[in-house]
Each structure stands twice: as structure tokens, then as C-alpha cells.
Amino acid sequence: MVAEWKTRQQVPQYVFDAIRALPRDSHPMVMLSVALLSLQKDSKFAAFYNSGKFNKMTAWEYVYEDASDLVARIAVIAAFIYNLKYRGDKQTDIDPKLDMGANFAHMIGQSEQYKDVARMYFILHSDHESGNVSAHTTHLVHSALSDPYYAYSAGLNGLAGPLHGLANQEVLDWTLKFQEKYCKGVEPTKELVTKALWDTLNAGQVVPGYGHAVLRKTDPRYMSQREFCLKTPGLKDDPLFKLVAMIFETAPGVLTEHGKAKNPWPNVDAQSGVIQWYYGLREWDFYTVLFGVGRALGCMANITWDRGLGYAIERPKSVTTPMLEKWAAEGGRKLA
């Protein structure tokens, strides 16, 4: 499969032209979404549907073709965007000997060690359940038989929201401010962090990166990143990682005692930004692009299965005006 992806990773020049046509200060997620939409003109699934020979039994084969092309190219496109925005448009060619993560690291001028970071990051963010916004949006849009480029561009637009993929950026911002306010150059002790967390909660603020809508235990993706940090010389002794590690040891107990958090355990966002920061990738608004590159792996596999299983179009339930009036009178809809 890796060898096949390498035959597909050459990105058409018109995609780069479309990105360059955008204002340079456009958000990198806008650039990524536009780039995938521009690839739609070469969609094999769309061509099959428009050929007059569309067959539901073989439709998945054409989704698979588009999905493979998209996954093979998205990291190359992401590297181009990073270089365009943050490295003075210094572009580096693909190294055909390298895998997806290593090639991305190579193209953005990162260290040899960062190749493992990229591999880990893309795999951990690939997909963990289809109920999240980006994965579900991709399912929803493709259920209308929109091709994978339309579908995943829409999924990326959902991922860009502050309650979804943007969360890792917000966690890092909070952690840096936490370090500046409470640590002031000293080693973060359990006593110091406990007091700081209570100050945060008593001020009506939350602890970003803790809690998850589905999981009721420590996110295994968090633990994978933690193990990576602990095994990496230099990173395990980094002051910011030490603070994150102490928050991990302290926050669940504080949040449990506080009583308002249903899940006091860290999620994937609680640490991912810290690793990028350590390796010098400090452009926060690019972190969601990294998330989007990884998430493509799961979303493209999912919609290929959708077509193989012949899923119907999604139709959400409707509500009536009296229902809306009732919920408004009650102060909001009470969900089960």
C-alpha cells in the first residue's frame, strides 16, 4: 500500500496555483480545504457517476481510487502550505524513498527525529470513532454521493472549529500562560500545580485538554504521546513537558474533587501541541492542518466502506415549530 501511495503523491500544479491565488494571510485550513476542492475536477468517482454506467455494486472501487489519491497527496499539500506561509516559500521536493510522515518532515526542513513525531501524529489522529464532527461530516456529505474531495473538504471545515481540531492550539496557549504565571522558572511540584488548578477552577475557568465527549478514561492517544516524550532524550526533561506531566498527575484528582467534570482524564489535545512546540513547529494555526492530514486516513477508509456497504443518504429528523416553542419556553432542549 505504501508503494502504491508513492505512485500517487505527485500533486498537479493547478493545486499549488489555487493555493497561491489565496491571500497569503489566509488560514492554513482554508488553504488545505481549497486545495482538496481543486482536486475534485479529476475525481474518478465523479467521472464514473457521470459516465452513465454508474453501478452501486462497484462504486466503492472509484471511491477507493479517489481516497488513495487524496491520502497520498494531502501531506505533500500540507508541506507546501507550511513552506509558503512560514518558510518564505522555500519549497522542497518529495523524496520518493520516504514514507508519508518522514516525507512531510523532510519537505518542511525538520530534523531526523521529527520524522517519528510526524508518523505518530498522523496515525494517532487518523480516526477513533465516526461520531466526531470531521468524520461524521465526511460521512454525511459523501452519503449524498458527493465524491471524496467534496466530502473531506467539508470534514476539514468542521475540524477547523474551536470545539474540535483547534483545541490542541488552545491547550498549548493555556499551558504556556499557566507556566508563565505559576512556575516562573521553578520546577512544577504537585503542591504548586494543585493550588494553581484550584485557582483556575475557582475563577470559573476550565482545564483545557481534560474531558472527552465519549471516552471515560485517559485517552490512549494521550498515553502514546506521553510514552514517546518519556523515551525521547531532551524532550522528557523539557520544562513544558514536565509541567504537562505534573498536570496529568494532579488534574484528575482535582477535577474529581471539584465534581463538575464527568471525565477528569486527559484527551489527545492535552499534550500534542507541546511536542510540536518542542521541535520548533510553533505556528499554532498550522496544528489543525497536521490533525487534518492524519484524520484523512480514517475518513477515507470509512467512506470507502460506506460505498461498499451501500449506505443510504443521511436524513436528520425534522422538528416542528411547536417543538421549538416548547424547548424555548423550557430554557433549552433537554437531550437524553
Catalytic residues: 164, 212, 269
φ/ψ of 125, rounded to 5, equals -100, 10
Report the candidate in 77, 138, 102, 93 with the shortest Cα–Cα distance to residue 295: 138
* Helices 28-39 and 287-309, axial angle in degrees (round to 10): 30
Residues 300 and 67: beta-carbon distance below 8 Å: yes
**β-sheet bridge partners, residue 210:** 266
